[in-house]
Structure formats: structure tokens, C-alpha cells
Amino acid sequence: MREKTKEQLLQEIESLQKQVAKQKKEDFTETKQAQAALEDSEKRFEAIFDYAPDAYYISDLKGTFIDGNIAAEKITGYKRIELIGKNFLKVKLLPPSQLAKAVAELAKSTLGKATSPEEFQLTRKDGKKVYVEIATFPIKIKGKFRILGIARDITARKAAEKKEKSLTADLKFLSESAMKFVELSHEEDIFKIIGQQLSYLAKNSYILVSSYHPEDNSTEVKIITGIKKRTNNILKILGRDPIGMRLKLDTQSAKERVMKGRLVEVKGGLYELAFNKIPKKICTALEKAFGVKDIYSMGFVKENKLFGAAVIILKKSFNLSSKTAIEAFIYQASVALHKWHAEKKVAASLKEKDILLREIHHRVKNNLQIISSLLRLQSRNIEDNSLQEIFQVSQQRIRSIALIHESLYRSDDLGQIDFSKYIQNLTSHLSSLHAADAKGINFKISADNIFLDINRAIPCGLLLNELITNALKYAFPEEKEGEIKIGFEKYKHNKLRLSIADNGIGFPQGLDFRKTESLGLQLVNSLISQLNGTIKMQQKAGTKYTLVF
């Protein structure tokens, strides 16, 4: 092998040097580019970190703040320089109740585990409370393990949830209150429920509920809650029990206040609340003794009518909450009071009409008895037996109608009568009237508990009168003993069936009861037509009439 010359070796060395220089230059360029890329990446990260919409913060594994972004400053109210180098336990961002949870989340992060979002309440530098969701992630920065925390402000969401929860609770409360009002039948019970429900809505307050008396334009205290243990104080200062106290609404301002239909702050205190009717010194003493802060009132007003008022007396250190729910409930109570007064008025009117109708039936019965008595007196001057009989039959028919009015007068329901009782009374009356003919005749009555209105009771009563009278007069000649059965029952297709049967000698053969000249049977056919019914006669061991209507 030929050995290289010195010149060749120098050329190779020079070539290698050039390659090394070139490589160094290329490596330097790549390093510069890498450094530039890293710097650019860091700048982008810093920009993302600083201007992210959520709060970003970096802490060490002990919870000491290393950095934070602009959003973190906005949420906490602290500048990042105020937080860097401080531990979250010393800054007092978290209330004591949430420190244990925060420490547990930090422990997970130190073990290299990411944590899912957890809710925390933070206290800002200015003292305001904010709600956040915080998630943490373990990261490595310049060879050291750090914790990246991302906090999202959920204060608005929590407020919306609280509002929705409060609204749901209010709606449930109002629904339950409505049911309670529906079940009440006395005005005193309504005021009691109003006091109880307002005490629930306006806790830490005294509740006063009054009714309004339009006859003398005054309000009467019905309910006061929250003073049981301090009744003696009131008695000592006021000199009397406030329950039952009546105060006149004799000023325009007083009327305007209770008629507004919304909660109004009574700035003049108890003195203004009492329409200036209680000495101011006494009102001031009561306010001092009971620690009165503010007073609100609202009248029970519906359709421009006043039924009373509700008063909420707040104790010191407490504010009025649930104002909307309170106003809604007081309006609900106004509707209940309006309904109760309307029903009371209707009930009074119905009672008045009930008395009037009873009086009418009583007078009609008396007038029919007078007519019957006049016919009886008139018949005494008649010597013709057939004419006397006509008068007696007329008296009997009038009496059967009078019994209807007497039954209605004594009935609990003026619209209808218990017809089974009417049958008993009519048969007793006819047995007495036809004592001679009814001797040895027994009545058997089987009647359902059926009620008839006057439009059906009168024709039905006259039908019974005619058919029973016929049986008493003609079915049992020569003092023959027998039986008359009367049945009254509900029939198919919502109809009624009335039957009168006797075991007497039977109806004359060959005579059509529908075409007889007898006025009584003619009346029977006319009355059954009036009832839109049908009548059948059977002759088997006597006579039986069956009427369906």
C-alpha cells in the first residue's frame, strides 16, 4: 500500500476541519432555532396563561403560590405580587370549614394525581364571597414538580341555582298554603293559618294579623306570633291584651297604606302602625322592649275590598327576606278571605231563601187546609148525599196536596221530599178519614228511599189518593176484611214503579178503567199522562194497578 504524502495528509486535515466547522455552524444554527422556538413557546404559554378566561395559578407541592394570571387577580381581588411566596393557608382565601377539603385535594396532587373540579367558597380581599370550581394538574417546570390549578368562577351559576331552589320552595309553600285555605271553613281559622305561614316565611320577626270591619271602618287584632314569653311586658306597657284591640281607619293615609296591595315599610314605627291611636311614648317603649328594627305591612285586598292586614315586625340585626314570596302569600290569603266572605254572603242569602220557601210551603198548606175546611162547612148545608160525597172527595184531594207542602216544609231539602214517608202519612190519613170502610183492612207498604221534587210529588200523591180511596170504598163491601199493598221502587232505565194492589172483589168485568165516566179514574189517567208514564191494571185475586214513570 502506497503511503500518503505530507501534502495529502494536510489536505485531508483541512477538509476535516472544514467539515467540523460546517457541522458546528449547523449545530449552532439548530440550537439558536431551538432556543428561539422554546422562547416563542414560552411566550405563547405565558400569553395563554395570563389571558385565559379562567383563573390559573401555579403552586409548589406545599401550597405556596408561585404565579397566577389576570383572571386569578380578578377572582381573589389580590395582585399576583401579593400572593406569590405565600401559602394558601395563610392568605385566608378559604373559610375554616373548607380547609380540610383543600388539604385533601393538595395531597392528591403531591402524589402526581390530577383532581376533578371541586366547589369552594373564596373570600376576596374586599370581603366579598365568590364560588369557584377548582381542578388541579401535576406539571414539571424546569425540572421541578409543580401544581397547576384552574379555578372557574361559578358565583352567577350558584346564585341562579339558589334562586331556582328558593323559587321552587316558594311555589311548594304557596301550593301547600292554598290547600290549607281550601280546607278551612271559619274566618278565625284563616287568620290562624295566615299567622303560622307568615312566621315561617319571615323568621326572627313578630307577625300581627288583623281583620277589617267595614261597618265601623276599624281593624281588629286577631293574631300576634312570637310574643308568648313576653306577654307580660305588653300588658305592663300597653295596659291591656292587644288581641281583640280595634283601631279606626279614619285617616286617608291609613287607608292608602293598607289598600296598596304590596308590602309597605311603616317608617313611623308602631305609632304610625296604630294609626296614631296609641300614645307615642307607649309605642316607643314597646319598640325598645321588643327590639324592633323595621315594620312592614300589607292589606288583604281583593277586587278593591279590604279584609284586614298583615304586619311583619323585624327584630334588630335581621333583614326582610323572601319579600316576593310574602307578597304572593298575602295575596293568596286575600283571595281566601274574599272567597270566605262571598260564601258567607251566599250562605246567608240561601238561608234567607230557605226560610222564605219553608214559610211559603207552610202558608200554602194552611191555605189548602182553610179551603178544605170551607168545603166541609159548606157541605153541612147540603142534604143531597151524592153532592156531599163530591165535597168530601174534593176535601180529600186537597188534603193530599197539602200533605206534599207539609212534607216539603219539614224536609231538610226543600227541593224534594222522601216519598216513602209521604205514603205512610197519606195511608194513615185515608184510614182515619174512611174509618168505616177501612175497618179490618191492613196496609202493607214496601217503599224504597226515593225522593221526588214537587213537580212529580203532587201528581203522584193525587194518583195514590184516588187509587187507595177507590180500594177502600169499593174493594171490600159489607165490612169484608182485606189487604192493600203499596209498593214504590226504582225500576229499569232510571224509572220508578208504583203499585197499588188489593185482594178485594176486583174491578167490574167488561169496564175499561181508561174510558170510565168516574171522575177519579179519569183523573188517574190524566195524572199518569202528566208524569209521562204508563199504567196497567191486573185482575187476579183482586185488583192491581202498576204505574211506571
Domain CATH number, residue 442: 3.30.565.10
Q: Is the residue at 1 inside a domain?
A: no
Q: Single out the residue of 353, 340, 463, 456 nearest to residue 397, CA to CA.
A: 463
Q: What is the pLDDT, as a whole number, of residue 333?
A: 87
Confidence band for 340, pLDDT divided at 50, 70 and 90: confident
Could you list the residue range(s) of the whole structural domain that residue 265 is in?
A: 161-342
202 with 106, same domain?
Answer: no
326 with 403, same domain?
Answer: no
Mean per-residue pLDDT, 298-327? 87
Q: Is the residue at 350 inside a domain?
A: no
Q: Does residue 446 carry a pLDDT above 80?
A: yes
Q: Single out the residue of 355, 337, 325, 363 nearest to residue 184, CA to CA.
A: 337
Mean per-residue pLDDT, 293-321? 88
451 with 312, same domain?
Answer: no
CB contact at 8 A, 312 and 207 = yes
Weakest-pLDDT range from 153-162, 174-183, 534-543: 174-183
77-107: pLDDT as tens digits: 999 899 999 998 888 899 988 888 988 888 8
404 with 449, same domain?
Answer: yes
Q: Single out the residue of 501, 432, 445, 426 nearest to residue 471, CA to CA.
A: 501
229 DSSP β-pair partners: none
Residue 94's φ and ψ, nearest 5 degrees, are -100, 145
Give the domain-ending residue among 153, 185, 213.
Answer: 153
Q: What is the pLDDT, as a whole number, of residue 438?
A: 63
524 DSSP β-pair partners: none
Q: Does residue 42 carry a pLDDT above 70?
A: no
**DSSP assigned state of 87:** B
Q: Which residues contact 450 (CB under 8 A, 6 or more apart)?
A: 418, 419, 420, 488, 489, 490, 496
171 with 91, same domain?
Answer: no
385 vs 503, more confident: 503
Q: What is the pLDDT, as a whole number, of residue 137?
A: 92
CB contact at 8 A, 117 and 152 = yes
Helix (H, G, I), strand (E, B) or coil at 178: helix
Q: Is the residue at 262 inside a domain?
A: yes
What's the pTM value of the predicted model, to 2 decimals? 0.53
Whichever domain contains 122, its CATH number is 3.30.450.20
Residue with cell 178519614: 433
Confidence band for 252, pLDDT divided at 50, 70 and 90: confident
Q: Is the residue at 10 inside a domain?
A: no
Q: Is the residue at 47 inside a domain?
A: no
Cα 126 to the center of its chain, rounded Å: 45
Q: Is the residue at 334 inside a domain?
A: yes
Q: Is the residue at 46 inside a domain?
A: no
Whichever domain contains 253, its CATH number is 3.30.450.40
Computed over every residue of the chain, the mean pLDDT equals: 80
105 with 178, same domain?
Answer: no
Q: What is the pLDDT, as a whole number, of residue 134?
A: 93
109 with 206, same domain?
Answer: no
Residue 157's φ and ψ, nearest 5 degrees, are -65, -45
Q: What is the pLDDT, as a whole number, of residue 26?
A: 61
125 with 273, same domain?
Answer: no
Confidence band for 170, pLDDT divided at 50, 70 and 90: confident
441-447/482-491 β-pairing:
parallel
Report the number of distinct structural domains present in the chain.
4
Q: What is the pLDDT, as a whole number, of residue 38?
A: 47
Position 66: which residue type? Answer: I
20 with 69, same domain?
Answer: no
Q: Does residue 274 carry a pLDDT above 70?
A: yes
Q: Is the residue at 138 inside a domain?
A: yes
Give the domain-ending residue among 120, 153, 186.
Answer: 153
Give the domain-ending residue among 342, 377, 412.
Answer: 342
Overall size of the chain counted in residues:
549
Confidence band for 511, pLDDT divided at 50, 70 and 90: low
Confidence band for 530, pLDDT divided at 50, 70 and 90: confident
328 with 226, same domain?
Answer: yes
407 with 531, same domain?
Answer: yes
Region of residue 402 (left: phi > 0; alpha: psi -120 to 50; beta: else)? alpha
- Between CA 285 and CA 239 the distance in angstroms is 12
Confidence band for 123, pLDDT divided at 50, 70 and 90: very high
217 with 366, same domain?
Answer: no
Q: What is the pLDDT, as a whole number, of residue 136?
A: 92
- Please report how the helices 231-238 and 280-290 are oriented relative to each other, as an axis angle in degrees rounded to 10: 160
